[in-house]
Structure 1
Amino acid sequence: MQIEPVSFRGMPCLRIVADGARALVALHGAQLLSWRPADGRERLFLSERAVFDGRTAIRGGIPVIFPQFGERGALQKHGFARNREWRLEGEERGEAVFALVGDGSDADWPHPFHARLRIGLASERLRVALEIGNTGTVPFAFTAALHSYLRVDDLSQSTIEGLQGCDYEDSAAGGTLHRQHDYEVAFAGETDRIYNDVVAPLALLDGAHRLDIEQDGFGDVVVWNPGEQLCARIGDLAPDDWKRFACVEAGQVLQAVVLGPGERWRGAQLLG
């Protein structure tokens, strides 16, 4: 594995190269911005209107959501991890390891913690693992996700397989509860679903292309696309960007993780 510092849109980043695959990671949020397997085809979506000011969350790639998913709590939407500067700890067992440390001095989150993001590349596969450790003296609870924006050529020709039989909360319909009966999840208008207790491997089908998706440690899968109307109101997306991505997120959303002092939690998503 080779790791070298680069600048992208004026922001400090790291380029990772391994087995013919390439990834680009911003230190802001430890956010993957690009992933190209050995075949050279970009698999992640990054908005051309994404803001790179070192303060704003970057629209696209794989944002790290911690310690709060969405607005399910008192913190800012999706928590603070995606807006903080992470540091490269180094390479360990063929993975690039990034770290974010909190000492408990934050008034909104008075809990000491150590977060790590591990990124592993193979020729055709990407593995992203999030680790959270409680370094304080009292328990804390959190929710988390890897908010993966997966690039598609045409959303109208894209479906997700593997969620049949799963219950989901439909956030676009007021949080109503449903069961996925169809074998495929298709996209029609705004889609915002939290699938619970997902254990089977998934696949994103995009015309002639297929991307297999697995996860470990995360109990939920979030499927999101803003659709045409909501996309037009999101400032860091172009009006037609909704056609070019599907978010399939590994998440721990519906049931928070409770970590006691000295305990650690880990969740991972595997794409390939």
Structure 2
Amino acid sequence: MGHPAAVWDTRAAIAVSKDWNGIDQVMLRNPQGASAKVSLHGGQVTSWRNDRGEELLFTSSKAIFKPPKAMRGGIPICFPQFGNCGSLEQHGFARNKLWTIDEDPPPLHSNDSHGKSFIDLLLKPSEEDLKCWPHSFEFRLRVSLAADGNLTMISRIRNINGKPFSFSFAYHTYLSVSDISEVRIEGLETLDFLDNLGQRERFTEQGDAITFESEVDRVYLGTPNCIAVLDHERKRTYVIRKDGLPDVVVWNPWEKKSKSMVDLGDEEYKQMLCVDGAAIEKPIALKPGEEWTGRVQLAVVPSSFCSEDLDPQ
């Protein structure tokens, strides 16, 4: 689909332009001035800004913006696996593929489009994908920006195969934070987690909130649908609401690991935190013709807001 430099859709604030690799990217804006940018490389949200123009997602200064490599930052989509196992590339292939704009998306619930600017993207497997993961699927992604600046991502994955398949999934969300040692997560206390730094051993969270003083790479299990990430210095709280995603990944590479990563600055671990809505421990199984939906909504509120105010629904 060819586009001039930037095409604005008059029905909603949507513009399509080319990035420096010539790949289409979609800019969503709301009337208050908030924005989100989605690249067709990976269906990846690469920017989300509030109405003051402040960037809410982290992207490394050393990120490699060149397919087929996934960009370090924003919200890469991990499908059909999270992590590194079997013949598939780490975190699966969806984040490295070229998606298309879905011109004829099936209707969603009216709440999912009312007063929002949104884009629908579509990924289908190529012949090459089918060699390494022999399952036919349709992956439809809606990214929407609401009037209040909230960012919502809805993934719908349908099995159009003759046989069942299963997959794991994560929205690998890089949040921008002032200083990782000033951040805490509320909503995961007392839960069990798998520790990826220790052969996926299972532990129970003991703290009354999660704070950071060393490398963390965990999958929290059976999590509530709403969790909060409090950034004391910026006096702001990210509220993550999710549906269809029972697990939450919490990751920060800390100092030693950052130094070994070519696409992350040595000190940049201080400004980032990954908190992912995910389905990992129990893979999603789809019979032929079945569809799965996984949704995450990201909001930012002033930090006077406390976790007692969180609506569990």
TM-score (norm 1): 0.95
* Residue in 2 that maps onto 1:84: 97
TM-score w.r.t. length of structure 2: 0.83
* 8 Å Cα contact 2:193/2:221 also seen in 1: yes
Q: Does 1:49 align with 2:65?
A: no
How far apart in 1 are the matches of 2:150 and 2:96?
A: 26
Aligned equivalents of 1:172, 1:8: Cα separation in 2:
36
Q: State yes or no: 1:14 paired with 2:37.
A: no
- Does structure 2 retain, via aligned residues, the 8 Å contact 1:162–1:200? no
Aligned positions of 1:1-272 closer than 5 A: 1-12=12-23, 13-20=25-32, 21-90=34-103, 93=113, 94=116, 95-102=118-125, 106-122=130-146, 123-207=148-232, 208-272=235-299
Question: Which structure 2 segments of 5+ residues have no match?
Answer: 1-11, 108-112, 300-313
- Structure 2 Cα separation of the partners of residues 235 and 134 of structure 1: 36
User: SS of 1:23's equivalent?
Assistant: strand
2: distance between equivalents of 1:109 and 1:176? 28
Q: How many residues align?
A: 272
Change (3 A) 1:108 1:10: closer
Once the two structures are superposed, what CA deviation does each residue of 1:186-218 show, in whole Å capped at 9, x if it has no partner?
Answer: 112110000000024111111211111111000
Equivalent position SS for 1:163: coil
Provide Cα deviations, 1:197-251, integer angstroms capped at 9, x if missing partner.
Answer: 0024111111211111111000100000100100110000011110011000011
Is the contact between residue 103 and residue 111 of structure 1 (CA under 8 Å) also seen in structure 2?
no
Is 1:138–1:260's contact at 8 Å kept on the other side of the alignment? yes
SS at match of 2:90: coil
User: Residue 62 of structure 2 aligns to a residue in which SS?
Assistant: coil
Aligned counterparts of 2:267 and 2:251: Cα–Cα separation in 1 = 15
CA contact (8 A) 1:139 1:260 kept: yes
Does the 8 Å CA contact 2:225/2:243 hold for their aligned counterparts? no
Task: Tell which deviates more after alignment, 37-46 or 203-212.
Answer: 37-46
Amino acid paired to 1:46: T
AA in 2 matched with 1:239: D
Unaligned stretches of 5+ in structure 1?
A: none
C-alpha distance in 2, partners of 1:11/1:236?
Answer: 21
**Contact 1:104/1:110 (8 A) holds in 2:** no
Letter in 2 for 1:186: T
Alignment CA distance shift 1:103-1:29 (3 Å)? closer
Moved more, 47-56 or 87-96: 87-96
Runs of 4+ aligned residues of structure 1 deviating over 4 Å after TM superposition are: none
CA distance in 2: counterparts of 1:36 and 1:189, whole angstroms: 28
Task: Output the amino acid matched with 2:144.
Answer: G
Residues 123-143 of structure 1 show CA distances to partners (whole Å, capped at 9, x for unaligned) of 331111111100111111111
Deviations 1:168-200 (A, max 9, x none): 011112222111121210112110000000024
Q: Judge conservation of contact 1:219–1:251 (CA < 8 Å) in 2.
A: yes
Change in Cα spacing, 1:200 to 1:183, as seen in structure 2 (3 Å) is farther
- Answer yes or no: is the 8 Å Cα contact 1:19–1:121 preserved in 2: no
**SS at the partner of 1:254?**
strand
Comparing 236-245 and 37-46, the one that deviates more: 37-46
Judge conservation of contact 2:30–2:149 (CA < 8 Å) in 1. Answer: no
The amino acid of 1:210's aligned partner reads: T
State which structure, 1 or 2, has the greater radius of gyration over its C-alpha atoms. 2
Given the superposition, is the C-alpha separation of residues 11 and 223 from structure 1 closer, same or farther in structure 2, using an over 3 Å criterion? farther
Write the distance in 1 (CA, Å) between the matches of 2:89 and 2:126. Answer: 19
| Partner SS for 1:98 | strand
2:305 corresponds to: none
Deviation at 1:40, TM superposition (A): 2.2
Q: Please report how far the alpha carbon of residue 73 of structure 1 lies from its aligned counterpart in structure 2 after TM superposition.
A: 3.6
